[in-house]
Amino acid sequence: MTDVLAPRDADDVLDAVAESLATGRPVDVVAAGSKRNFGRPCETACELDVSALSGIDLYEPDELVVGMGAATPLVALEAALEAERQMLSFEPPDLGPVLGAPAGQSTVGGVLACNLSGPRRIMAGAARDHFLGFNAVSGRGEAFKSGGRVVKNVTGFDLSKLIAGSFGTLAVLTHVVLRVLPSPEDERTVLIAGLADAQAVSAMSAAMNGPYDVSGAAHLPAPVASASANEAVSGLGASTTAIRIEGPAPSVEARTRAVSALVSEFGPTHVLDRAQSGSLWREVRDVSYFAADGRQVWRISVAPAAGAGVGGQIAAATNGTVFYDWAGGLVWLAIPALDDAGHETIRGAIRDIGGHATLVRADPEVRAAVSVFQPQPAPLAALAARIKDSFDPRHVLNPGRMAQV
Amino acid sequence: MRMPKPDASVVGRRDAIVGQLREIVATEGVIVDEDEMRAYECDGLTAYRQLPFIVVLPETTEQVSRILKLCHAEGVKVVPRGAGTSLSGGALPLADAITLGLAKFNRILDVDLDNRCVVAQPGVTNLGITDAVKSQGFYYAPDPSSQIACTIGGNVAENSGGVHCLKYGLTTNNLLGLEMVLITGEVIRIGGKHLDSEGYDLLGLVTGSEGLLGVVTEVTVRILPRPEMARALLAGFPSSEAAGACVAQVIGAGIIPAGMEMMDRPAIHAAEDFVHAGYPLDADALLIVELDGPEAEVAHLVDRVTGIARESGAGELRVSADDEERERFWAGRKAAFPAVGRISPDYYCMDGTIPRRRLAEVLRRMAEMSRRHGLRVANVFHAGDGNLHPLILYDANRPGELESAETFGAEILKLCVEVGGVLTGEHGVGVEKRDLMGVMFTEDDLNHQQRVKCAFDAESLLNPGKVYPILRRCAELGRLHVRAGQVRFPDIPRF
Ligand SMILES: Cc1cc2nc3c(=O)[nH]c(=O)nc-3n(C[C@H](O)[C@H](O)[C@H](O)COP(=O)(O)OP(=O)(O)OC[C@H]3O[C@@H](n4cnc5c(N)ncnc54)[C@H](O)[C@@H]3O)c2cc1C
């Protein structure tokens, strides 16, 4: 049976971790639980449910800063930002549906703990780049803070970066401060139909290498494009390469024209209006194409120019389906379920070129048996273990969640 | 400033250590002569000087690895050094520490336009990276004013910024990968040409760690296509409040300029006297706003920002007609430090960050402090992101003035923290702000940071005495006090 501790505030979190240290019973830190299935399964039956630590308590739009309880729902934050025509520019994805949870459940702390960023990552940076400061309770049962509420800050080690992407294995976030940015006034997407993966990466690279401030560059091979709910995409009946342009209206218009002209040598182009563009990038962001099936899902980050090669090789070897974001640098892969999730094939394909592959969706038994996160060379793994021990010496927080097997 | 006490046993073994270093690095790469070592006795914070124990200038990662391994085995401290332009004493030598200079790591290793990145050795200058890709229409965005001299390795260690960081980010936001040597001599690689690190984000952690965690031996940075054009707006305001309000309204209107800099009256006058940029001398505050991008966007935004500036009470208002005029607008701002250097024998550059809306209050209180200490102060300000550079004018030859300047500086930084800001925005803590860390952080906060240091360097051999007040031993820091007996199954809702 699962025990659930439900702290009401940061002091309760402190007590809960102290209790965990005293009793030797580790905790699985959860809020909405939308990403419970992301990572290696935690080896504990006790949950620390922090969902009460919620609510925006600082928002100064002209200072581009927002602060809140760590478990503030992402939808609530996004609604508050939208009212001021601002946004989280790293475009956090909603992986709930891919992970078998409902949509719209994510909390801000969960997004940060997994360092999740969407298509705009290539231009605006990752979640960690917008994470200015936090309060937390470490696995030592001590409250501490780092960073602050300003962007320019080099006072001491940048622990926000370390905590982002640590999957709750170092500390329980209680309060977080993020940088926000103005939402673009307008957007368009230039589509190119019918390109092979390698050509598509070349086309995206051409657009990225020009002065157009491209804020999204994705390629959907034909089987994926045909699954798009966006008829302007699925109706093409071919692979679709998408290049997004955002900004002030006159600028968007001029750049859309310039990018269309630039990539027309690759194939026929078509422009999506603002609404169509928005819905296409939400699909790409949330990996919607893989949400409704039972296959295993991998997320592979490589140098963009290597994307098509890696994607093609892995798809062929695993009988899988791929699509590309980040101008080719992010390969999303769905494969028919295997006991070992094909990890040797997949990681073997990137061994020589560098990068990392994360097993995002698979049954718990598979995620317990296969390293979910990219295994690290010995000195790096030892260093990571020392860092873990420095924050959580008794391994009471999310035990096993990031473990290498 | 109290530095760790030199280790007599290490100092006594100097000849033997020099001999061992010469087995690793060719003779001329190991400097022991006092006159030759003089060039390394300080960094950009010249008030602090100390002759190094030994200077060593390796050329390969393998040599760095062997040097660190040796130092680790022999218990010898190491101070990494790039170009020595740190303004916080980060590269200040120690009497019993090897200064490990990376000047010979000066090659660009790979220009990869398909992946929009450059791989460089750490001793390449910041501008050297842009120079390597300029002809192909690219540049490296972070642009510290010291960019002709400072190294990319130093930029990583300090997480340096520049006037264009408002839109394009600091070093940490433009870094893709590192090779680094740990104090044990182990070589690790973090990141690469792909995005996001696997596992814990050590890339982010190491950036801004001021040489305390390892020696960076290779850097991969992202480069950007040069914007089609840039134009700058020069606006004089009757008060810093009005200028501050203008900044807030520009951002409130959804515009993130490439750069947005403010200068106060003393800085305007010093700069104008020096470079004759055409600054309005009757203004109390000057704003330079640069907008870059495609022509259509720049034209549109220049109009909008001009309108906002006018509404905010700008007196004189000029828009650059061409790049030459734009550069003239910037010339005064870029020369602000040397310009102030002309009107005072010495100046002390501070680097706090504040929430922007507190600017007027901070300037007012700084003026009071200035009167109280009898020292003038000029302000340049990365206005877009609240990073303030007060320059305190003093004369080191007058007894007590340096001390007054330092006290004044510390008061300014405490004020920054009091209004919700931080001690340092881009220059680093170094030795300079080390003893102020307690103003911003509790003991628990600092202990969590120092345990990270222990995870990398348990004997505290890398750049000790910087950033953190004299360290407690790692074993003591790591001790866990479990409140076992007294846990009362606290009153937490449970299901
Ligand atoms: C006139 C002037 C203007 C400046 N303007 C700016 C500005 O606009 N913005 C800004 O951010 N800074 C500015 N600075 C500060 C300074 O130039 C930066 O901090 C710069 O990044 C330091 O680089 P460096 O190569 O000189 O490093 P150094 O001064 O040699 O070293 C700085 C720190 O980095 C460590 N270090 C150096 N190289 C390595 C390495 N390879 N591995 C590990 N650690 C290393 C050193 O131990 C030290 O702690 C300015 C300085 C001056 C003098």
HEC secondary structure over A377-401: CHHHHHHHHHHHHHHCCCCCECCCC
- How long a stretch of residues is chain A? 405
| B157 in contact with ligand 1, CB cutoff 6 A | yes
Closest chain A residue by Cα to residue B161: A152
CA angle A180, A186, A190 (to 5 degrees): 115
Give the number of domains in chain A: 3
Beta strand segments in B357-415, E: 377-382, 387-394
* Domain with A194 in it: 186-286
State the pLDDT at residue B487.
55
Distance from C-alpha of B35 to C-alpha of B14, rounded to nearest angstrom? 17
State the pLDDT at residue B482.
76
First to last CA, chain B: 54
Instruction: Name which residue sits closest to atom 3 of ligand 1, judged by CA.
Output: B146
Decide which of A183, A204, A221 is a domain's last residue: A183
Is residue A156 domain-shared with residue A191, that is, in the same domain? no
Q: Do A122 and B203 touch (CB under 8 A)?
A: no
Is residue A341 domain-shared with residue A255, that is, in the same domain? no
> Which residues of chain B are within 8 Å of residue A10 when distances are taken between CB atoms?
none
SS3 content of chain A, % helix, strand, coil (to 5): 35, 25, 40
Tell me the CA distances in angstroms from A320 to A226, A283, A287, A337, one per residue in order: 16, 19, 15, 10
Interface test with B, best of A21, A153, A201 (most B CBs within 10 A): A153
Ligand 1 centre and the CA of B97: distance in Å?
A: 19
Beta strand segments in B342-483, E: 346-349, 352-353, 377-382, 387-394
Distance from C-alpha of B296 to C-alpha of B302, rounded to nearest angstrom? 10
Measured in whole angstroms, how far is the alpha carbon of residue B384 from the centre of its chain? 17
Is residue A175 domain-shared with residue A190, that is, in the same domain? no
Amino acid identity, position B145: S
pLDDT per residue, tens digit, chain B (495 aa), is 778 889 999 999 999 999 999 999 988 899 999 999 999 999 999 989 999 999 999 999 999 999 999 999 999 999 999 999 999 999 999 999 999 999 999 999 999 999 999 999 999 999 999 999 999 999 999 999 999 999 999 999 999 999 999 999 999 999 999 999 999 999 999 999 999 988 999 999 999 999 999 999 999 999 999 999 999 999 999 999 899 999 999 999 999 999 999 999 999 999 999 999 999 999 999 999 999 999 999 999 999 999 999 999 999 999 999 999 999 999 999 889 889 989 999 999 999 999 988 998 999 999 999 999 999 999 999 999 999 999 999 999 999 999 999 999 999 999 999 999 999 999 999 999 999 999 999 999 999 999 999 999 999 999 999 999 876 789 999 998 876 555 556 788 888
> Which residues of chain A are within 8 Å of residue B188 when distances are taken between CB atoms?
377, 379-380, 383
Is residue A197 domain-shared with residue A160, that is, in the same domain? no
Ligand 1 centre and the CA of A181: distance in Å?
A: 29
Residue B487, exposed/middle/buried by CB under 10 A (0-12, 13-18, 19+)? middle
In angstroms, the separation between the Cα of residue A254 and the nearest Cα of chain B is: 7
Q: Is residue A391 part of a domain?
A: no
Is residue A125 domain-shared with residue A23, that is, in the same domain? yes
Distance from C-alpha of A304 to C-alpha of A325, rounded to nearest angstrom? 9
Specify the CATH number for the domain of residue A360.
3.30.70
Q: Is residue A371 part of a domain?
A: yes
Pull the structure tokens for residue B444.
């628990």
Q: Is residue A241 part of a domain?
A: yes
Q: Do A18 and B483 touch (CB under 8 A)?
A: yes
- ipTM of predicted complex: 0.97
> Which residues of chain B are within 8 Å of residue A381 when distances are taken between CB atoms?
199
> Which residues of chain A are within 8 Å of residue B169 when distances are taken between CB atoms?
125, 129
Specify the CATH number for the domain of residue A263.
3.30.70.2190
Q: Are A345 and A314 in contact (CB under 8 A)?
A: yes
Distance from C-alpha of B463 to C-alpha of B54, rounded to nearest angstrom? 14
B340 phi/psi in degrees, rounded to 5 = -70, -35
Q: Is residue A405 part of a domain?
A: no
- What pTM does this model have? 0.97
The residue whose CB lies within 8 Å of the most ligand 1 atoms, and thus the one to mutate among B63, B143, B160, is B160
Specify the CATH number for the domain of residue A61.
3.30.465.10
Distance from C-alpha of B217 to C-alpha of B104, rounded to nearest angstrom? 11
Q: Is residue A346 part of a domain?
A: yes
State the pLDDT at residue B426.
95
Ligand 1 centre and the CA of B1: distance in Å?
A: 20
Q: Is residue A129 part of a domain?
A: yes
How many of the other CB atoms lie within 10 Å of CB of B238? 14
Q: Is residue A161 part of a domain?
A: yes
Is residue A54 domain-shared with residue A120, that is, in the same domain? yes
Distance from C-alpha of B150 to C-alpha of B334, rounded to nearest angstrom? 15
Is residue A221 domain-shared with residue A305, that is, in the same domain? no
- Going by C-beta distance under 8 Å and a sequence separation of 6 or more, which residues neighbour residue B188? A377, A379, A380, A383, B179, B180, B181, B182, B202, B214
Distance from C-alpha of B206 to C-alpha of A159, rounded to nearest angstrom? 10
Q: Per-residue DSSP letters for B188-205?
A: EEEE-SSSS-SSS-HHHH
State the pLDDT at residue A322.
98
* Residue-averaged pLDDT of chain A: 96
Q: Which residues of chain A have pLDDT under 50?
A: none
Q: Is B400 left (phi over 0), alpha (psi -120 to 50) or beta?
A: left
Distance from C-alpha of A112 to C-alpha of A127, rounded to nearest angstrom? 6
Is residue A207 domain-shared with residue A251, that is, in the same domain? yes
Decide which of A286, A310, A344 is a domain's last residue: A286
User: In terms of Cα–Cα distance, which of A236, A311, A319, A321 is closest to A270?
Assistant: A236
Is residue A21 domain-shared with residue A3, that is, in the same domain? yes
Residue A387 contacts B, CB cutoff 8 Å: yes
Q: Do B495 and A6 touch (CB under 8 A)?
A: yes
A330-335 and A321-325 as β-strands: parallel, antiparallel, unpaired? Answer: antiparallel
Distance from C-alpha of A172 to C-alpha of A161, rounded to nearest angstrom? 15
Is residue A178 domain-shared with residue A44, that is, in the same domain? yes
Is residue A235 domain-shared with residue A373, that is, in the same domain? no
Distance from C-alpha of A3 to C-alpha of A19, rounded to nearest angstrom? 13
Interface test with A, best of B61, B156, B184, B201 (most A CBs within 10 A): B201
Is residue A254 domain-shared with residue A206, that is, in the same domain? yes
In angstroms, the separation between the Cα of residue B267 and the nearest Cα of chain A is: 22
Q: Is residue A350 part of a domain?
A: yes
Decide which of A262, A286, A310 is a domain's last residue: A286
